[in-house]
């Protein structure tokens, strides 16, 4: 039987993430027991040096000063049906921990609701972001990362560039994903996806 590459399989799963994460439904929150990666000290007879690696964190707080957004962040994964698990509260963002973590080379993902039945939700103001705006993440032990907005783009759901959003890259990037456009009551989802592309600077 022909094997499917892990990266290809992940992209296929993420197609479901992109089309399901913006429905006005709520699911159960999850917690992660995965420890944050740490740096390794490499020693030899001639020298001892610290191997510099990107600090990866599982954030519990997101702060975007330019739009006045400060939000708790919860770890999320995949449900059995392949859909992205989202925090129960529409005022909480979810960091996808079954892929690249923030700080690691690659595209880390944080998703959040744009609205709910009562009105705007946590990621409603993302559309106001502009290139160079800072995005800060911190974890429960005080580690923090600073990203800077590179671009803000919106796409029809079926035409979202999955490789650009979720694919491999040598850069440490963080993509914030939410919904935008009109809400289709029949399909129970918004017609477009908004992606804020950011890159690690500190």
DSSP 9-75: HHHHHHHHHHHHTTSS---------PPPP---EEE-SS-EEE---PPP---SEEEEGGGTEEEEEEE
- Cα–Cα–Cα angle for 175, 24, 191, rounded to 5 degrees: 65
| Domain carrying residue 126 | 6-27+54-200
CATH code: domain of residue 187? 2.40.260.10
pLDDT band at 187 (very low <50, low <70, confident <90, very high): low
CA distance 187 to 29: 24
pLDDT(61) > 90 = yes
Alpha-carbon 155 to chain mean position: 17
In a domain, 47, yes or no: no
- Cα–Cα–Cα angle for 19, 25, 26, rounded to 5 degrees: 115
Token couple for 191: 């017609």
Mean pLDDT on 172-200: 84
CA distance 65 to 148: 12
User: Would you please indicate which residues are annotated as catalytic (active-site) residues?
Assistant: 113, 179
pLDDT number for residue 104: 96
pLDDT(124) > 50 = yes
In a domain, 125, yes or no: yes
In a domain, 39, yes or no: no
pLDDT band at 33 (very low <50, low <70, confident <90, very high): very low
In total, the chain counts a number of residues equal to: 202
In a domain, 180, yes or no: yes
Token couple for 172: 């440490």
CA distances (Å), origin 186, targets 85, 116, 178, 182, 191: 22, 16, 19, 12, 11
**What are the residues whose beta carbons fall under 8 Å from the beta carbon of 142, sequence distance 6 or more?**
none
Q: Which residue has the higher pLDDT, 33 or 60?
A: 60
CB 96 within 8 A of CB 85: no
Q: Which residue has the higher pLDDT, 190 or 123?
A: 123
In a domain, 190, yes or no: yes
In a domain, 41, yes or no: no
In a domain, 33, yes or no: no
In a domain, 179, yes or no: yes
Model pTM score:
0.76
pLDDT band at 67 (very low <50, low <70, confident <90, very high): very high
Q: How many domains does the chain have?
A: 1
């Amino acid at each position: 039987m022909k094997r499917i590459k892990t990266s290809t399989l992940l992209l296929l799963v993420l197609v479901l993430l992109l089309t399901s994460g913006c429905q006005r439904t709520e699911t159960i929150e999850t917690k992660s027991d995965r420890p944050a990666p740490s740096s390794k000290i490499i020693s030899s007879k001639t020298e001892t040096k610290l191997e510099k690696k990107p600090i990866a964190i599982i954030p519990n707080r997101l702060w975007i000063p330019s739009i006045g957004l400060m939000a708790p962040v919860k770890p999320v994964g995949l449900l059995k049906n392949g859909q992205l698990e989202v925090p129960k509260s529409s005022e909480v963002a979810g960091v996808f921990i079954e892929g690249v973590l923030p700080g690691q080379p690659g595209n880390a993902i944080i998703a959040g609701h744009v609205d709910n039945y009562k009105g705007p939700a946590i990621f409603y103001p993302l559309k106001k972001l502009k290139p160079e705006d800072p995005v800060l993440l911190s974890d429960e032990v005080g580690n923090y990362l600073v990203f800077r907005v590179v671009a803000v783009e919106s796409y029809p759901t079926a035409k979202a560039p999955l490789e650009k959003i979720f694919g491999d890259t040598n850069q440490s990037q963080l993509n914030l994903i939410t919904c935008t456009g009109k809400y289709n009551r029949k399909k129970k989802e918004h017609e477009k996806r908004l992606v804020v592309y950011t890159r690690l600077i500190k």
